[in-house]
Amino acid sequence: MPLDYDLYWSFRSPYSYMVAPRLLALEAEHEVACRVRPVYPLAVRTPEFFDTRDPLWLPYFMTDVFREAAFLRLPFRWPRPDPVQRGPDGRYPEAQPWIHRLTHLGVAAAERGRGLAFLVEASRVIWSGDVDDWQEGDHLARAAERAGLDFAEMAAAVDAAPDRYAAVVEENQVAQRAAGHWGVPMMVFGGEAFFGQDRFDQLKWRMQQHGLTARRGS
């Protein structure tokens, strides 16, 4: 049986974007199964979180995300537009159609067994800098197709039952905190939380201690 772990992940997190390709490669090369559990970003869940940050937090964060992307050799630009909308006063309104729908699409992809592949493809569209107005046209549809999904079917399901998908996201968020942290990306293996894309190597190391094996032919 493959080893399995939970992945708590946000479409608005640059670090989530950065770790997803490595997790997909891990699953392709080893007997590992990822349970994708999308969550809303902190800006939606707890926007007051950012009100208490030290003034140095944002400048360092913006330096670090570009540096880390360059280190990982990933194309990177802050999304245009930001998946989380802000009002003229700089506050985050309660109505957030883009990030809610994105997160629900992530849930739907996971339910169809292609969650991790969809996270990789969709986040590349949003974060790589190759696409402006990622929310328009067929950008997400083509990302879903590359992930092996029928976007029209998946989107119709999401749009028809937003409350059901929101409930799944809420369950994920409760489970995330119960597992030991609130941030993303967060991998939970064997009851142990690994928070941050820079914990990937430790996650793999722990899996190796529990008998991680290569897939045949990889």
Sheet containing 186-189, strands listed edge to edge, beginning at the edge strand earlier in sequence: 32-38, 3-9, 186-189, 192-195
Contacts 24+ apart (CB under 8 A), 131-137: 132/80, 133/80, 133/81, 134/79, 134/80, 134/81, 135/81, 135/83, 135/98
Identify whether 10 is a catalytic site residue. no
Which residues make beta-bridge pairs with 30?
Answer: 214
Q: Which of 10, 13, 16, 123 is catalytic?
A: 13
Q: Can you read off the two tokens belonging to residue 202?
A: 């430790």
Whether residue 9 contacts residue 106, with contact meaning beta carbons closer than 8 Å, is answered with yes
Catalytic residues: 13
